[in-house]
Amino acid sequence: MNKSINLISKLQETMVNSISILVRPIILISTIFLIFSTMGISLTVKPLVNLVLVMLTLYYIYITSKTKIQAKQMSMLISFVIFSILGSLLFLLNIENFMPITKQFINLPFFFDGITMWLIWLSAIVVLVLFLGIAQDSSNFINKFYNNKIRVSYSSILLFIILFATICFTIKNIFIFFIFFEMILLPLVFHIITQGSRVNSTQAVKYLVIFTLVGSIFLWVPIIYMVEILGTADFDSLRWLLVESTNSGTRKFLFISLFLGFSFKVPLVPLHQWLIIAHVEAPTTGSIVLAALLLKVGGYGLYRFVYNLMPLESFVFGNEIITVALFGYTYATMLAIKQIDIKRFIAYTSISHMNFSLIGLFSGYEVGMAGFIHTMLSHGIIATAMFYMVGYLYANLGYRDTLRISGLAETLPVFSIFWFLFSIANMGMPLFSAFPGELFVMISLAQVNPLFVLFTIFGFFFTGVYTFLQINKLLFSNYRGYSSSIFSGKLTDISAEGFSVLSILLTWTLILGICPDIVFKNLEI
């Protein structure tokens, strides 16, 4: 155990030294480049260099902050800068007067359509939450966070994950997509090992690596075939080469292999066990990244490189996939009812929502596709909020099970209001973001086969049961004799930073629920 701790400490120290060594010359070189490059640089490159310089400078100031106040101020500044930058991409896409700016990117090997922009926006929301609430994690982590070594490794890991996910959301080359898709695993594993909330974090990493590697094999085989036999990994070229240069049997093999590979990351039941263990053992920020980004990269891969790349095969296998996804949705909602650990509970609800979204994707109808995308965005926001609140409880109490936590409405009224609102939003209550997506998925499912709709009733029933059971246990009841007075001295209500984070997430939950057309009108389905 001591050897593992020493190894982790050395890794963190190496990361700090490496980043400090690398950042300084990059800032210097970028500054010199900007000074002496007044001519001959395109309008696309110069703002990019300026952006890199600004972000590196802010980040360097942040990791070298000497006091808690300086670190908090810089973390908030960085989060708002990144949020503004990523959010501005979505703004440029929506405003017709600025469309000529985005048209210059059409010939580049990147996607700049509606789903890409909205997933980048979701990444920006996650960045905002992670850096505003950067010190809210396990209690041990809070005490150590303002140590420079911990802060550098922590923030660097999060930024790398965000960067790799953003590349996956935009890149057209399936081979490069696969590389960054797998690279997300490296900082995530390091994050779980170093900041895991329990002693079994190594077991979580073992499951995460094994399941991911198995899924990678299913992805690697068809990608190598495309590169070696078809001679390209570009999305646009593959769309017509797969039709012109391959037979039906080959396309079905490629489809099944790619589908299974991405299903590990969604995850589709019964390939979900790694996610439960990873969520339970990961720190709060790791759970947020898993739910809001990693699962979305898997769903995006199914949409972009399975459904869009081979639409005929998606139609052929559509009913079988819908049947499996429908089973996974109902199965996960049933298991969520009996969960005592709140993190496991949220993990199972995440699996149910992601399985339900796949029903819309493979329904073959535009309304189902819109429901798939909207459900993914909604789940990313709601799961982020709920994991954030569970992290708050665990940071202050050291446990997070409903056998020992109850009656929070008396002790934490503001926290309880947020938990109640996000719980009913997670259930799919009208006016909240989950409702429009689930409604559109149901409409598409009725068009595929009305009998499928009858089976979803079981899932909706179990969803309502687990939602109100958790609300009652956590907020109102003195479950099994435990009273809120036992831990009232340990808890204070949500801080100003927490209130800001949850208010932002709740605002977007309401916006996407009341005005879903802001998402649908930009989708190119």
Give per-residue pLDDT as tens, 341-361. 898 999 999 999 999 999 999
d(CA 133, CA 164): 21
Q: What is the pLDDT of residue 106?
A: 42
At 79, the pLDDT band (50, 70, 90 cuts) reads: low
Q: Does residue 491 register a pLDDT over 50? A: yes
Which residue is listed with tokens 């985005």? 102
Q: Does residue 148 register a pLDDT over 80? A: no
The pTM assigned to this predicted structure is 0.80
Q: What is the pLDDT of residue 83?
A: 53
Q: What is the pLDDT of residue 382?
A: 93
d(CA 265, CA 510): 28
Do the Cβ atoms of 513 and 433 come closer than 8 Å? Answer: yes
Closest CA to 128 of 62, 170, 176, 83: 83
Stretch (H or E) spanning 411 = helix 408-411
CA dihedral angle for residue 388, residue 351, residue 504, residue 396, rounded to 10 degrees: -10
d(CA 344, CA 481): 23
| % residues pLDDT > 70 (the chain) | 69
Q: Does residue 197 register a pLDDT over 60? A: no
d(CA 391, CA 400): 9
Which residue is listed with tokens 């819109």? 370
Other C-beta atoms closer than 10 Å to the C-beta of 420 total 16
> Measuring CA to CA, how many Å separate 344 from each of 178, 275, 291, 337, 459?
29, 9, 12, 10, 18
Do the Cβ atoms of 59 and 78 come closer than 8 Å? Answer: yes
Q: What is the pLDDT of residue 80?
A: 52
Token pair of 179 as six digits: 């590389």
Lowest mean pLDDT among 89-98, 159-168, 238-247, 416-425: 89-98
pLDDT in tens, 245-265: 778 888 888 899 999 989 888
Spatial CB neighbours of 230, under 8 Å, sequence gap ≥ 6: 237, 238, 241, 242, 245, 246
Token pair of 93 as six digits: 């896409």
Do the Cβ atoms of 268 and 325 come closer than 8 Å? Answer: yes
Cα angle, residue 471 at apex, residues 466 and 477 outer, rounded to 5°: 120
Closest CA to 166 of 205, 131, 124: 124
At 44, the pLDDT band (50, 70, 90 cuts) reads: very low
Distance of CA 90 to the CA centre of its chain: 18
Q: What is the pLDDT of residue 19?
A: 47
At 132, the pLDDT band (50, 70, 90 cuts) reads: low
Q: What is the pLDDT of residue 85?
A: 53
Token pair of 101 as six digits: 């700016």
Q: Does residue 77 register a pLDDT over 80? A: no
d(CA 295, CA 130): 17
> Measuring CA to CA, how many Å separate 127 from each of 169, 189, 384?
15, 19, 11
DSSP for 434-469, written as a single string: HHHHHHHHHHHHHHH-HHHHHHHHHHHHHHHHHHHH
Spatial CB neighbours of 430, under 8 Å, sequence gap ≥ 6: 513
Token pair of 190 as six digits: 């390091």
Q: Does residue 386 register a pLDDT over 70? A: yes
Inter-helix orientation angle 342-361/450-471, to 10°: 160
Peptide bond just before 109 cis, omega within 30 deg: no
Token pair of 362 as six digits: 């493979």
d(CA 525, CA 520): 9
Q: Where are the alpha helices (DSSP H) in 282-365?
A: 284-289, 295-302, 311-316, 318-337, 342-361
Spatial CB neighbours of 74, under 8 Å, sequence gap ≥ 6: 58, 61, 62, 65
pLDDT in tens, 362-382: 988 888 888 999 999 999 999
pLDDT in tens, 156-190: 677 778 788 888 888 888 888 888 888 888 888 77
**Sequence ranges of the domains in the chain:** 126-311, 317-525
Do the Cβ atoms of 389 and 419 come closer than 8 Å? Answer: yes
d(CA 339, CA 337): 6
Q: What is the pLDDT of residue 223?
A: 87
Q: Does residue 284 register a pLDDT over 90? A: no
